[in-house]
């Protein structure tokens, strides 16, 4: 489905990619879908930049910010190139990949590509209470409990934020980020408490 | 138009005051305009730099995420600032993300690519390029262009107002100084007037009324004192001159009197002189040493001497040795004793003797001192009575004048035989 929308990626998305230093895809519309993941990679980095983790969590304490790809990796080298040399909150950003098994509990950002397998969904549910920013590209990913869901709408790549999920994970998303997002599921007071 | 240094003092004074105050007000106005301009530009700079920074901060996320819509919305807020003519957000690589243009602003006026961060005034505009950064990274650039023509107009108005203030102040200063300069110039002009009066009328009784500044009062008082001194001196001079004139007049009258007296005396003296000179008697005068001091015409003719030949000579010159002894010796004492009369012989220049009848006396001055001896004689006339004791001769003129005054050494020495006879007769008589 994401591929189906690949041709609709807009110049805005291109601009985003460029603004993040991802020069490799400039004017590279010769191949359909070649711009979708560079844009999404840039978004992942920006999410990391506009998010604060709870101060007592290992996610906040470690010297690096890790962006983990859970399951299938649709980025290839694009994500590594996007992140290379960049920082978030003064910390180096690194990319990790987990294809099943243990480990993602210590990630700052977890990306789940589409389609999600049942095992992945379970893993995600297990991470729901951890201070981890979960990002997916499947429809209604945020509505189903993820923190941010990427949505390709016409010429734009938009994103939805589930504030209740963010609160449960004790993540502080920048109001500037929220200003650009479609917010769903505003949290109840009691829900924000761990 | 006269040149300033040819103007009267009070005009110069007013001019100086006006120029000075005009300069002061003008400098103040220039300073105010300069300060106003500086302040205005500084205000504009601060104002729009702040605005640019706020905008940049507000558009961090939009620029980071390349969200043109959000960026456009951020820029749209600029509508509340009518001075902002255009704005644009660029992504990190210089692509235009969103653009704001005030109504009526041309699309081409917005730069296609951003410049380095900074600001500048361009003509009637203020241009800012502000870096948009987030999390320590430059994510884009904000361009902001502001119209500063209201500022220019404001400065123009300020300059106009200050210019009017300057003009008004200068005109008022001129009017005020034209009136107030009299405080200073009045006393000076009064002194000048008094000086003119003194110079033209030689009137030292005028005085300056002291007034104006301390120095002017001191000047006026000093000038008055000087006038008073001159007046005193002038009065003294006048008095001295009057006295002198009076003295001269008196002296002149005195002289005239003296001259008149002298003239009278001279006339009398001249008359006497002429009388003596014109007398047909043989008259001669000697000093007390028997030297001739005077001989009249008749005498000179009778003796054959000229005046030069006889004056200063001793009386013995005319003595004749043929006089009887003793006659001559007797004459001197007799003369001093009141006068001598008698006949005796005298000798002419050519050596001939002739008899004379002589009367002598002492000439005394006003104090009674003897100043000379006078002898008056006439030629003893041959035909006269021989028996006469006094020598009185009618005879022919020219022959008988005989000065035999003086001291006694005068003897009658008739010339020729007849004279001798007569002398003998006299002696005999």
- Sign of the dihedral defined by the CA atoms of residues A98, A102, A108, A113, in that order: positive
User: What pLDDT does B46 receive?
Assistant: 94
Q: Mean pLDDT for chain A?
A: 78
Are B67 and A180 a contacting pair at CB < 8 A? Answer: yes
A46 contacts B67? CB cut-off 8 A: no
Closest-CA distance of chain A to residue B126, Å: 27
Q: Which of A10, A15, A148 to mutate to test the interface with B (most CBs of B within 10 A)?
A: A15
Q: Strand B125-134 and strand B340-347: pairing? A: unpaired
Cα first-last separation, chain B: 125
What pLDDT, on a 0 to 100 scale, did the predictor assign at position B101? 92
A18 interaction partners in chain B (CB closer than 8 Å): 66, 91-93, 95
Number of Cβ within a 10 Å radius of residue B394: 12
* CA pair distance B169, B153, nearest whole angstrom: 24
User: A19 vs B61: CB contact, 8 Å cut-off?
Assistant: no
How many Å lie between the alpha carbon of B44 and the closest alpha carbon of chain A? 29
The tens digit of pLDDT for each residue in A144-186 reads: 889 999 998 876 788 999 999 999 999 999 988 888 888 887 7
pLDDT-derived band at A194 (thresholds 50, 70, 90) equals very low
Rounded distance between C-alpha atoms, residue A25 and residue A18, angstroms? 8
Q: What is the spatial distance between Cα A131 and Cα A110, in angstroms, rounded to a whole number?
A: 11
- Residue B99's pLDDT is 94
Please tell me if residue B139 touches chain A, with a CB cutoff of 8 Å: yes
Tell me the C-alpha distance between A166 and A173, whole Å: 8
Q: Nearest CA to B293 among B276, B310, B317? A: B310
Rounded distance between C-alpha atoms, residue A15 and residue B66, angstroms: 6
Q: What is the pLDDT of residue B398?
A: 38
Contact A87 B97 (CB under 8 A): no
Contact B72, B64 (CB under 8 A): no
Question: Scanning every residue of chain B, which has its alpha carbon at the shortest distance from the alpha carbon of A19?
Answer: B92
Using an 8 Å Cβ cutoff, are B386 and B420 in contact? Answer: no
What was the pLDDT predicted at A187?
A: 66
- The interface residues of chain B toward chain A in range 34-63, judged by CB-CB distance below 8 A, are 60-63
B422: its two tokens: 């007569």
Whether residue A13 is predicted with pLDDT greater than 70 in this model: the reply is no
Return the pLDDT at B186. 83
Which residues of chain B have a CB within 8 Å of the CB of A13?
66
Q: Taking the CA atoms of A148, A153, A158 and A161 in sequence, report the sign of the dihedral they define.
A: negative
**Per-residue model confidence as pLDDT tens digits over B295-330:** 998 999 889 999 898 999 988 888 888 888 788 788
Cα four-point dihedral sign B260, B266, B269, B270: negative
Contacts of B68 in chain A (CB under 8 A): 12, 15
Burial class (CB in 10 A: 0-12, 13-18, 19+), B404: buried
- The minimum CA-CA distance between A113 and chain B, rounded to whole Å, is 20
Which CB contacts under 8 angstroms, 24+ apart, belong to A124-132? Answer: A124/A70, A128/A165, A128/A168, A128/A169, A129/A168, A129/A169, A129/A194, A130/A105, A130/A169, A131/A53, A131/A54, A131/A57, A131/A59, A131/A60, A131/A169, A131/A170, A131/A171, A132/A59, A132/A104, A132/A105, A132/A107, A132/A108, A132/A169
pLDDT at A37 over 60: yes
CA atoms within 13 A of residue B265's CA, in its CB half-sphere:
6
Nearest to B87 by CA among B291, B78, B304: B78
Ramachandran class of B270: left when φ > 0, alpha when ψ lies in -120 to 50, beta otherwise:
alpha
A176 to B60: CB separation less than 8 angstroms, yes or no: yes
- On chain B, the residues whose CB falls within 8 A of the CB of A21 are 92-93
What pLDDT sits at residue A35? Answer: 80
Question: Which segments of chain B have a pLDDT < 70?
Answer: 1, 380-429
Task: Give, for A152, the enclosing helix (H) or strand (E).
Answer: strand A148-153
Distance from CA of A150 to the nearest CA of B (A): 13
User: CB distance A15–B70 less than 8 Å?
Assistant: no
Structural tokens at position B320: 């004749």
Burial of residue B248 (CB within 10 Å: 0-12, 13-18, 19+) is exposed
The alpha-carbon gap from A18 to the nearest alpha carbon of chain B, in Å, equals 6
Which residues does chain B have within 8 Å of residue A49's beta carbon, measured at their own beta carbons? 64, 134-135
Give the pLDDT score at B249. 93
Residue A150 Cα distances to A135, A144, A153, B186, angstroms? 7, 13, 10, 98
Mention every residue, 6+ apart, whose C-beta is less than 8 A from residue B268: none
Contact A174 B61 (CB under 8 A): yes
- Which ipTM did the prediction report? 0.73
Contact across the interface for A15 and B60, Cβ inside 8 Å: no
Interchain contact, B93 vs A19, CB within 8 Å: yes
Question: What confidence score (pLDDT) does residue B119 get?
Answer: 94
- Residue B400: the pLDDT is 41
Residues of A in contact with B70 (CB under 8 A): 179-180
A176, B105, B116 from B58: Cα distances, Å: 8, 24, 20
What pTM does this model have? 0.55
Residue A97 has pLDDT above 80, yes or no: yes
């Amino acid at each position: 489905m994401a591929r189906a929308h690949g041709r609709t990626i807009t110049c805005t998305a291109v601009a985003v990619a460029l603004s993040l230093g991802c020069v490799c895809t400039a004017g590279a519309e010769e191949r359909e879908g070649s711009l979708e993941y560079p844009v999404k990679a840039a978004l992942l980095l920006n999410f990391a930049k506009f998010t604060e983790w709870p101060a007592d969590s290992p996610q906040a304490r470690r010297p690096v910010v890790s962006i983990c790809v859970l399951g299938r990796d649709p980025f290839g080298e694009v994500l590594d190139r996007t992140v290379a040399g960049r920082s978030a909150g003064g910390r180096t950003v690194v990319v990790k990949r987990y294809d099943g098994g243990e480990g993602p509990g210590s990630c700052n950002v977890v990306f789940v590509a589409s389609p999600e397998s049942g095992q992945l969904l379970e893993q995600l549910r297990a991470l729901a209470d951890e201070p981890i920013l979960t990002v997916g590209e499947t429809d209604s990913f945020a509505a189903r409990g993820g923190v941010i869901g990427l949505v390709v709408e016409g010429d734009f790549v938009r994103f939805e934020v589930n504030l209740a999920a963010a609160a449960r994970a004790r993540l502080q998303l920048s109001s500037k980020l929220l200003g650009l997002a479609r917010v769903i599921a505003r949290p109840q007071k009691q829900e924000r408490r761990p | 138009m006269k040149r300033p240094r040819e103007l009267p003092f009070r005009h110069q004074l007013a001019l100086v005051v006006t120029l000075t105050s005009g300069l002061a007000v003008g400098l103040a106005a220039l300073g105010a305009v300069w300060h106003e301009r500086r302040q205005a530009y500084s205000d504009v700079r601060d104002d729009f730099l702040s605005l640019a920074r706020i905008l940049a901060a507000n558009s961090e996320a939009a620029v980071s995420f390349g969200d043109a819509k959000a960026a456009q919305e951020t820029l749209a807020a600029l509508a509340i600032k009518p001075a902002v003519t255009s704005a644009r957000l660029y992504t990190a690589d210089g692509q235009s993300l969103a653009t704001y243009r005030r109504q009526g602003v041309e699309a081409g006026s917005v730069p296609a690519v951003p410049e380095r961060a900074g600001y500048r005034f361009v003509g009637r505009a203020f241009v800012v390029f502000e870096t948009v950064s987030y999390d320590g990274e430059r994510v884009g650039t904000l361009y902001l262009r502001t119209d500063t023509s209201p500022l220019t107009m404001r400065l123009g108005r300020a300059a106009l107002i200050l210019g009017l203030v300057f003009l008004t102040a200068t005109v008022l200063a001129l009017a005020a100084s034209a009136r107030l300069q009299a405080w200073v110039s009045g006393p000076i002009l009064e002194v000048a007037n008094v000086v003119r009066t003194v110079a033209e009328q030689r009137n030292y009784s005028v005085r300056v009324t002291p007034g104006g500044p301390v120095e002017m009062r001191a000047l006026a008082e000093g000038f008055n004192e000087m006038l008073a001194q001159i007046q005193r001196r002038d009065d003294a001079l006048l008095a001295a001159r009057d006295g002198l004139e009076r003295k001269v007049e008196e002296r002149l009258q005195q002289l005239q009197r003296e001259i008149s007296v002298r003239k009278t005396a001279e006339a009398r003296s001249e008359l006497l002189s002429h009388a003596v000179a014109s007398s047909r008697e043989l008259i001669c005068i000697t000093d007390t040493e028997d030297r001739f001091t005077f001989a009249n015409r008749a005498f000179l003719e009778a003796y054959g001497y000229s005046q030069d030949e006889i004056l200063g000579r001793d009386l013995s010159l005319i003595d004749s040795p043929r006089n009887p002894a003793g006659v001559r010796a007797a004459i001197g004492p007799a003369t001093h004793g009141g006068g001598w009369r008698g006949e005796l012989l005298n000798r002419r220049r050519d050596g001939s003797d002739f008899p004379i009848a002589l009367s002598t006396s002492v000439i005394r001055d006003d104090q009674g001192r003897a100043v000379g001896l006078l002898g008056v004689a006439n030629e003893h006339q041959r035909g006269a009575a021989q028996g006469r004791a006094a020598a009185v001769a009618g005879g022919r003129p020219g022959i008988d004048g005989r000065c035999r005054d003086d001291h006694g050494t005068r003897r009658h020495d008739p010339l020729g035989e007849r004279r001798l006879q007569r002398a003998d007769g006299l002696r005999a008589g």
